[in-house]
């Protein structure tokens, strides 16, 4: 940047413009930006010579390179500051058409820059050119988030690498590099642009080689069908440097998405693997059916049964006993990646564990019916075998469904239904008494969706009034009542219903305040 200073001090006019052109080309910015920086530098140096209190401007002719320096004076009736104002009489001596408020330009002789002034001018030009360069870099790369870029390692700093992209610099932080991956100055790097920020020291372009989308973009480069959107990569999960899973889907039923991504003799996937330092990649057929996709995602393990809980986004997977370690993977890697890929929490059980648990649930439910309905074990087991799991089902199911059970006649069915209802009524009375003893108010009990059991749980956790309940956040309520099957939407709706009286109170207060104001105004009118 020494050249910029010399343009101000010793070069002729055309050389000034030649330097502006050279700097603009080198930095990739507009020539006008460099000329503006030079004008500001000359202006600053001139003010230091003629006095900082003066309003001095400088202009460089874009064609001839001629430098013009002038002082701006405002025409005023009464001059309060000689440095920036001129009287109307004096102004009309110079320009008969001058009016108060006009600005007159008074030409000044060229400035002969000293060493300090030249250094100041240089600093101004350097700063302005640097700011323009940073703005150009930001504008160029802010719309390139999500692309893969290539560059050369410029330097290595504390494990992170600075990459020269040609017209900008970018950084790959240590945690965005693959494990055991090292680069030296001059090495070529390919990485994914995941963020571009405006910061005080210039735009920061952040690159990553561990980002899941880096792998997706690599496949788009290697697989023409992905680039042309015939095949879509719907999901990616990575354990960088070790293993990854991608879910692919074909918009053309005649094209196998997995085979297209693998390529002839694995050539396409191998190119991606090589770029990722040997990271193993499982390519999986994506499916709109969650259960099918999850079963595919757990490959190479075989799955014999799945049970989905859509509200909780959780799935229970049953695998053969000899497939458990394969399904879980080393240090849980396979099931963890499958969970990330599908967005579901996955619980894995062996067939033996699932059978044992099913038998335990059967025994517990049978015993519940035996104890609560005061029946023998056979009847309890028959109810569970037919799918009855709760006392409410026995109490309120149509009699025909009970009589359909082998060995149940109408009299037995009616007796079981009556006993179940009697039990539930007795339990409800006990819960209501406990709710009152805990101090849970009737206003809280009136909130739609809250059962007596829920109210007791709330009371035991010191949630006793409508305001206590209204103060809860949705996740706090789910933590307390989630075991009762409450979901986030229901929790938020109940809390908002409990808060309704707050807004009603505000409306009443506003109406009362308006009434007072109105009465006061009426009284004032009457007094007049």
* Model confidence pLDDT, tens digit, residues 476-491: 888 888 777 778 888 8
Residues 130, 149 share a domain: no
Residues 118, 19 share a domain: yes
Q: Which residue has the higher pLDDT, 131 or 274?
A: 274
The pLDDT value recorded for residue 104 is 67
The pLDDT value recorded for residue 7 is 38
* 241 within domain boundaries: no
Q: Which residue has the higher pLDDT, 241 or 99?
A: 241
* 506 within domain boundaries: yes
The pLDDT value recorded for residue 486 is 78
Whether 121 contacts 44, CB under 8 Å:
yes
CB neighbour list of residue 499: distance below 8 Å, 6 or more residues apart: 470
**Full domain range(s) for residue 22:** 2-134
User: Which structure tokens are listed for 220?
Assistant: 């788009």
CA dist 60 and 330 (Å) reads: 70
pLDDT tier, 9 (very low <50, low <70, confident <90, very high otherwise) = very low
User: Which structure tokens are listed for 345?
Assistant: 């929490």
Residues 161, 50 share a domain: no
Number of domains, the chain: 3
Strand ranges for 77-197 from DSSP E: 85-87, 103-108, 148-157, 160-164, 169-172, 188-197
* Model confidence pLDDT, tens digit, residues 186-209: 889 999 998 888 776 665 888 999
Q: Which residue has the higher pLDDT, 399 or 113?
A: 399
User: Which structure tokens are listed for 282?
Assistant: 């499982």
Q: Which residue has the higher pLDDT, 140 or 114?
A: 140
Percent of the chain with pLDDT over 90: 7
At CA 286, angle to CA 285 and CA 287, rounded to 5? 115
pLDDT surpassing 70 at residue 112? no
pLDDT tier, 249 (very low <50, low <70, confident <90, very high otherwise) = very high
The pLDDT value recorded for residue 401 is 80
Whether 163 contacts 117, CB under 8 Å:
no
* Model confidence pLDDT, tens digit, residues 426-477: 888 888 888 888 888 888 888 888 888 888 888 888 888 888 888 888 888 8
* β 103-108/148-157 pair status: unpaired
Residues 152, 100 share a domain: no
- Calculate the alpha carbon distances from 518 to 411, 447, 526 in Å: 72, 37, 12
Which residue bears the tokens 């879980």? Answer: 328
Residues 12, 96 share a domain: yes
Q: Which of 174, 208, 242 is the last residue before a domain boundary?
A: 208
Residues 193, 125 share a domain: no
CA dist 146 and 214 (Å) reads: 8
Residues 487, 460 share a domain: yes
- Calculate the alpha carbon distances from 218 to 146, 148, 190, 270, 271 in Å: 12, 8, 10, 11, 9
pLDDT surpassing 50 at residue 512? no
Q: Average pLDDT of 154-164?
A: 86
Residues 84, 163 share a domain: no
Q: Which residue has the higher pLDDT, 261 or 62?
A: 261
Q: Which of 100, 134, 168 is the last residue before a domain boundary?
A: 134
Three-state DSSP class for residue 55: coil
Q: Which residue has the higher pLDDT, 517 or 138?
A: 138
Question: What integer best gives the mean pLDDT of the chain?
Answer: 78
Residues 128, 54 share a domain: yes
Residues 86, 17 share a domain: yes
Q: Which of 134, 164, 182 is the last residue before a domain boundary?
A: 134
Q: Torsions phi, psi of 485, nearest 5? A: 85, 10
Whether 426 contacts 407, CB under 8 Å:
no
Q: Which residue has the higher pLDDT, 246 or 88?
A: 246
Q: Which residue has the higher pLDDT, 139 or 339?
A: 339
Whether 348 contacts 311, CB under 8 Å:
no
The pLDDT value recorded for residue 8 is 41
Whether 8 contacts 41, CB under 8 Å:
yes
The pLDDT value recorded for residue 359 is 86
Residues 91, 54 share a domain: yes
- pTM score above 0.85: no
pLDDT tier, 247 (very low <50, low <70, confident <90, very high otherwise) = very high
User: Which structure tokens are listed for 115?
Assistant: 């060493």
């Amino acid at each position: 940047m020494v050249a910029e200073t010399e343009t101000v001090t010793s070069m002729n006019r055309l050389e000034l413009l030649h330097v502006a052109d050279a700097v603009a080309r080198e930095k990739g910015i507009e020539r006008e930006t460099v000329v503006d920086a030079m004008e500001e530098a000359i202006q600053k140096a001139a003010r230091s010579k003629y006095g900082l209190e003066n309003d001095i401007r400088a202009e460089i002719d874009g064609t001839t390179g001629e430098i013009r320096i002038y002082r701006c004076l405002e025409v005023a009736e009464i001059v309060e500051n000689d440095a920036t104002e001129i009287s109307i009489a004096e102004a009309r001596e110079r320009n008969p058409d001058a009016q108060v408020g006009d600005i007159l330009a008074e030409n000044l002789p060229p400035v002969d820059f000293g060493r300090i002034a030249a250094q100041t001018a240089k600093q101004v030009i350097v700063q302005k050119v640097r700011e323009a360069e940073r703005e150009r870099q930001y504008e160029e790369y802010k719309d390139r988030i999500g692309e893969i870029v290539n560059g050369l390692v410029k330097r290595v700093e504390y494990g992170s690498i600075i990459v020269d992209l040609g017209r900008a610099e970018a950084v790959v932080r240590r945690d965005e590099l693959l494990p055991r991956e090292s680069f030296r100055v001059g090495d070529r790097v390919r990485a994914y642009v995941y963020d571009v920020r405006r910061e005080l020291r210039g735009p920061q372009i952040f690159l990553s080689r561990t980002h899941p989308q880096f792998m997706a973009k690599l496949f788009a480069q290697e697989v023409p069908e992905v680039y042309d959107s015939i095949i879509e990569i719907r999901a990616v999960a990575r354990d960088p440097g070790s293993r990854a899973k991608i879910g692919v889907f074909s918009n053309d039923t005649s094209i196998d998405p997995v085979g297209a991504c693998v390529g002839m003799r694995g050539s396409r996937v191998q190119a991606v693997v090589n770029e990722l330092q040997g990271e193993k990649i499982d390519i999986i057929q994506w499916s709109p059916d969650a259960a099918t996709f999850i079963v595919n995602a757990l490959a190479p393990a075989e799955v014999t049964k799945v049970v989905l809980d859509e509200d909780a986004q959780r799935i229970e997977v049953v695998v053969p006993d000899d497939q458990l370690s394969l399904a879980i993977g080393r240090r849980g890697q396979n099931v963890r990646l499958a969970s990330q890929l599908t967005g579901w929490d996955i619980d894995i059980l062996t067939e033996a564990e699932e059978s044992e648990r099913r038998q335990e649930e059967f025994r517990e439910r049978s015993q519940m019916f035996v104890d609560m309905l005061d029946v023998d074990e056979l009847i309890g087991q028959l109810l569970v075998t037919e799918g009855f799991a709760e006392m409410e089902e026995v109490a309120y199911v149509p009699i025909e469904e009970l009589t359909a059970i082998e060995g149940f006649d109408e009299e037995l069915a009616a007796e079981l239904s009556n006993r179940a209802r009697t039990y539930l009524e007795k339990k409800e009375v006990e819960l209501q008494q406990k709710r009152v003893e805990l101090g849970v108010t009737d206003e809280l009990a009136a909130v739609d969706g809250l059962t007596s059991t829920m109210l007791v749980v709330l009371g035991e956790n010191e949630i006793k009034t409508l305001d206590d309940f209204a103060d809860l956040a949705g996740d706090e309520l789910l933590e307390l009542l989630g075991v009762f099957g409450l979901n986030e939407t229901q929790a938020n709706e109940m809390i908002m219903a409990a808060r309704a009286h707050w807004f009603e109170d505000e409306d009443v207060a506003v109406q009362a305040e308006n009434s007072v104001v109105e009465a006061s105004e009426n009284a004032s009118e009457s007094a007049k």
